Amino acid sequence: MNKTDLSPIDFGQLVEKRVAVVTGAAKGIGRACARVFGEAGASIALIDIDEDAARATLTELRERGLQAAFFSADVSCAADVSAAVQGILERYGKIDILVNNAGTHDGKGIQEAGEDDWDRIVSTNLKSVFLVSKAALPSLKETGGAIINMGSMVGLVGQGNSGAYSASKGGIVALTKNMALDLAPHRIRVNCICPGWVETPLVNEWFALQPDEAGARDYVNSIHPLGRIAAADEIGKVALFLASDLASFVTGVAIAVDGGVSLGY
């Protein structure tokens, strides 16, 4: 489709015949992004270090009749990333879309965190964006592709007890803007999604650890003006929009997808 073509679009085929790479694709938001992109016509390359969970996601996608393949990698390791991207190019021949979603959280402020904690969080969340984007760039330059980085509302408004996490997510927002400027001459758009609370295994584990799980859920729902937290697919749909021609003139933005929770944070 020509970038200026405003003719009607088949929403079920927004990214048909494109290849979408999703990091941290085994669970949560990454798994939802893979499913949403697959249902919109893309072939999906799943990247994750958790092989068992990733293969379960791969099975789910294929049972839905979607095109998908799994590539095991530690996205904080340049050699792993290079091998995964090479495997993707050998299988699919190109990369049109990159969703840098891999991330982790430890709930520690700088008083509690050690150097190893800092390095693990920043490497997984922020360094991975650099490594995977750089490895995918030669193909993205050829396709005029799109990069979607997964930030967090924490990167916009901050959060207690999350020093490395807050720094990594704030860094993703800033890096997104830098990449958008540097890569625009290559027709590559780069944007960032900043989710709030999302129904994921990680969030459900946190709820389960609270003394009053039901009360904790009620409270978290109550602080969202929309009265609930997000379903993971709702984040995936925003990623799909940003990757598609519907967002052909959108680059360098950090979109809060948080049900309004950061408005009164």
d(CA 138, CA 166): 30
Phi, psi dihedral angles at 145 (to 5 degrees)? -80, -170
Beta carbons of 161 and 111 less than 8 angstroms apart: no
Q: Order of strands across the sheet with 189-195?
A: 68-72, 43-48, 19-23, 97-100, 146-150, 189-195, 254-257
User: What is the H or E stretch that residue 221 is in?
Assistant: helix 213-222
User: What is the H or E stretch that residue 87 is in?
Assistant: helix 78-92
Catalytic residues: 165
d(CA 20, CA 38): 8
d(CA 141, CA 97): 11
Beta carbons of 118 and 105 less than 8 angstroms apart: no
The identity of residue 251, as a single letter, is: T
Phi, psi dihedral angles at 83 (to 5 degrees)? -65, -40
Per the structure block, which two tokens stand in for 12? 């079920």
